[in-house]
Structure 1
Amino acid sequence: MTLTATGDGAVFDHPGLLYDSRARYLSGVTGFVREAVDAGDAVLVAVPPPNLETLRESLTDVAGRVTFADMTVAGRNPGRIIPGVLLAFAAAHPDRRVSIVGEPVWPGRTDLEYPACAAHEALINVVFAGRDVAILCPYDVGRLDPARVRDAWRTHPVMIVDGARRPSPWYDDPYVTAAAFNQPLPKVPVTAATLTYRHAADLAAVRRFVTAETACLDPDRGGDLLIAVNELAENTIAHTGGDGTVSIWAETGRLVCQIDDRGHLSDPLAGRIPPPPDAEGGRGLILANRLCDLVRVHTGGDGTSIRLHMGF
């Protein structure tokens, strides 16, 4: 199956576009954009530079009807893309079909970031199933690791190869695919500063600890990290009934903070679907994804680890 449809005529389409040259990229992407514009869709193009500049130049005649975004900024943290880019754009155009070009996996993506990217691509199929949305995801087969291209066949129901659409024989249940990227995180360094907490009364100590350990960051970014950690620590206290630990350390070019507890994060979409405005709670991971440069999560029967990264 290449498309999913509902009785009200809504059609969801999530193809991967494999390209190995600038010409194939332009042909595939501009063709998709022009067709969407002609159909009256709301169109977003979120790709990394220099592809962004190339598409702006090639789509000048329809630029007034297309929204452009730098994916290295809007989607620097892969966990931010569904809530902060895709769902936000769809919500801004509630009465129109939405067509999006999203390129979350580019050659500069690191091994640290990639598992979150692959899980994101799989979960798009869950979040947008039954919606009137098309999301085209280009993959640079000439420069990407072949394993990442193989993963694209697992996360997209249909692939576009040499200009032709074909169902992917390796497409699998999105939850199963996303679970394959629920990978253990590297060990916390023995040199990391750590603090254990258990009760709501401990949150003030958590905030003082984080404030002291993030003094090396720009004040605004340190404040963002403090908010994220406080929200996640509150989640530990509210939902796990056990101790939590905050660990902070520096790596090359970034400060890293990890929250560990004995809870199990059972919903793979946690942090990707904003809760209703009147909901109590449910915003911890959403806030962390919005505020941090990268969020990695590993959850299992022994507990959950959430690792936050902030560049210096």
Structure 2
Amino acid sequence: MSTTTETSNRTAAAAPAGGRRIGPAGLALRQGRLEIRQFLRSRESVVFTLGFPVIMILIFASIFNGQIAPGVKYTQYFITGMIATGLMTVSFQNLGVWIPIERDRGVLKRLRGTPMPKWVYFAGKVIMVVVIGVAETALLLAVSVGLFGLSLPSDAGRWLTFGWVAVLGVTACTLCGIAISSLARTARSGSAVVTPVALVLQFISGVFFVFTDLPRWMQQVAALFPLKWMCQGLRSVFLPAAFGAQEPGGSFELGRVALVLAAWCVIGLALCLLTFRWTTKRDG
């Protein structure tokens, strides 16, 4: 899609239909639908965001099928990490890569000059993240249950925990993705800035390896960032309660999980407000 066409579509999303005035919710939904369509039209985004976590589950779960604790298979442990990784990918990584592309193409500059309120652009991104994140999580759970016998929680309390961990985690990662997008100077450098950060966090946050098997200094570094706490919170949902004793703090520490993720939501919002740019430096 060309820059002109893309901008025209975005502007049309904010324009009244048939002369009728569209309310804030209508504007956000239109922008969200546009963002989702653009995401689905990008084969690279679809394959990497939706396909990569599934491929990793298929590979790792097929290779490592032993137990890491009584009654806990490596597969169960790994799947919780991949769910957290999937949520981070669709929010932090996806936004951190695509916003610089839109900025470099001049899309954001043109949007700022249209009648569409600025907040609608971000609302559309949030709607896209939520919709794709839900679809990706459902896909991962379906693959895990169907092929590797993952046991889904049977009580409402665990599903409630799953909900608030996912919401706080996605919110924090979305805000951080918007913030880190300002570090990329060009469209091509977005992936180079964001992807290494995402990969390092996956390796040190207990996604590919049992967290307590990592060096102590890695655990301490990982504890500074949201992904580690997302993984830990999701482990409390899908793993036996007794496994909490294997965590560094001797329990799943759900109170601390909520506190750290909420703190990153505040930090991410502050970084967005301070750093987000609608134009490249060459545009002034």
Which TM-score tier does this pair reach, normalised by the shorter chain?
under 0.3
The one of the two structures with greater contact order (alpha-carbon pairs below 8 A, sep at least 6) is 2
The structure with the greater share of residues assigned to strand is 1
TM-score, structure 1 length as denominator?
Answer: 0.26
